[in-house]
């Protein structure tokens, strides 16, 4: 029996950007490629053993994929000549670990050629890295198709770290995602690394009256400034997202309440009472955070958009 997952009808109505064409199901590969999920999990584990920054990179990669043209693996396509792909677009800082997806895809192609889409490989890998980092697990609906288009310029559609709450809400609601989804998914920032450029607006020339964002806790701001001076010459300088950057927990929300979040877009989550209540709830209960995160990840990763099952995730068929 096909366990067809109702792909949120509200999302169908609200989504301005994506036609939701593929219906997803939990047992999509049960007959056509029963070994797919464990092969992908294994490739993700091997990749993480080689490089402990892999989990954060793959979680962010899936988010970037879903927010541009839906979760259609457009983020994985390489540029072709002058046609530069999303990989070459501006917010590409720290997008890496493509080798893990290449390896996972190779494994599933060996098991069942031409069956498992790159978009599904990435969605499953994003779940696996959360689990590997100590976060919650969930069943991933599958059946996404891969797109044939990836345009560097379209990465402008991604929310920026300088966004305020209304800009963030607009970006999410255009994709059928709510304020609760925004607050829960931002919890992805509990793992990983950020370059100085992503938060420099808060620590130098913040506004006419403040050099430093007054919502930043003072000693935290000072430490960020020492690592990221105004005319930073250190290539790739930056900081971990938090003191436990490889552990998926609710530290992110606790830090926001202490004025120790990195981005304006993180701090923005306490600028309305609705959003702030959610931040406080997740700071107070890791269980509530995990429940909400799973629900919102399934929603985000159900924004589909592709047409084919690519043979090689870097090039269209």
Ligand X SMILES: *[C@@H]1O[C@H](CO)[C@@H](O)[C@H](O)[C@H]1NC(C)=O
Return the active site residues: 64
Task: Write down the least CB distance from residue 79 to ligand X, Å.
Answer: 8
Nearer to ligand HEM, 79 or 240 (CB): 240
Query: Distance between alpha carbon 30 and the CA centroid of its chain, in Å?
Result: 27
Interaction residues for ligand X, span 147-186 (CB under 6 A): 153, 156, 164, 166-167
Q: Has 113 been labeled as part of a binding site?
A: no
Q: Which two tokens stand for residue 61?
A: 């990669």
Interaction residues for ligand HEM, span 80-139 (CB under 6 A): 93-94
Beta bridge partners of 98: none
Binding mask 135-174 for ligand HEM (x = CB under 6 A): ------------------------xxx-x----x------
Task: Write down the least CB distance from residue 38 to ligand HEM, Å.
Answer: 23
Q: Which stretch binds ligand HEM (CB under 6 A): 9-17, 49-57, 82-90, 227-235?
A: 49-57
Cβ proximity of 65 and 117 under 8 Å: no
> Of 8, 4, 12, 14, whose CA–CA distance to 172 is shortest?
14
In sequence order, which residues have a C-beta less than 8 Å from that of residue 77 and are 6 or more positions away?
85, 86, 87, 150, 313, 314, 315, 316
Cβ proximity of 24 and 141 under 8 Å: yes
Q: Which two tokens stand for residue 197?
A: 């450029």
Nearer to ligand HEM, 22 or 198 (CB): 198
Helices (H) and strands (E) in the chain, counts: 13, 2
Binding site for ligand HEM (CB under 6 A): 53, 56-57, 59-60, 63, 93-94, 159-161, 163, 168, 185-186, 188-189, 191-195, 198, 263, 265
């Amino acid at each position: 029996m096909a366990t067809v997952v109702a792909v949120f009808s509200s999302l169908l109505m609200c989504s301005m950007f994506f036609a939701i064409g593929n219906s997803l199901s939990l047992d999509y590969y049960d007959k056509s490629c029963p070994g797919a999920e464990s092969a992908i999990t294994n490739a993700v584990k091997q990749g993480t053993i080689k490089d402990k920054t892999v989990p954060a990179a793959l979680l962010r990669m899936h988010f970037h994929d879903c927010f541009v043209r839906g979760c259609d693996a457009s983020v994985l396509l390489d540029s072709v000549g002058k046609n530069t792909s999303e990989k070459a677009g501006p917010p590409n800082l720290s997008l890496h670990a493509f080798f893990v997806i290449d390896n996972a895809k190779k494994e599933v192609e060996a098991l069942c050629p031409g069956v498992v889409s790159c978009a599904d490989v990435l969605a499953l890998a994003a779940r696996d890295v959360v689990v590997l980092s100590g976060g919650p697990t969930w069943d991933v609906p599958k059946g996404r198709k891969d797109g044939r288009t990836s345009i560097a310029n379209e990465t402008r559609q991604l929310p920026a770290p300088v966004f305020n709450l209304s800009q963030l809400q607009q970006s999410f609601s255009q994709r059928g995602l709510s304020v609760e989804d925004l607050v829960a998914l931002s919890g992805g920032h509990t793992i990983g690394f950020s370059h100085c450029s992503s938060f420099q607006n808060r620590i130098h020339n913040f506004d006419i009256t403040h050099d430093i964002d007054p919502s930043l806790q003072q000693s935290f701001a000072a430490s960020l400034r020492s690592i990221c001076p105004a005319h930073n010459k250190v290539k790739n300088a930056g900081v971990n997202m938090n003191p436990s950057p490889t552990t998926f927990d609710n530290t992110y929300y606790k830090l926001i309440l202490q004025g120790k979040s990195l981005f304006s877009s993180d701090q923005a989550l306490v600028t309305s009472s609705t959003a702030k209540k959610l931040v406080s709830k997740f700071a107070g209960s890791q269980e509530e955070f995990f429940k909400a995160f799973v629900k919102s990840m399934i929603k985000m990763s159900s924004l589909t958009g592709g047409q084919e099952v690519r043979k090689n995730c870097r090039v269209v068929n």
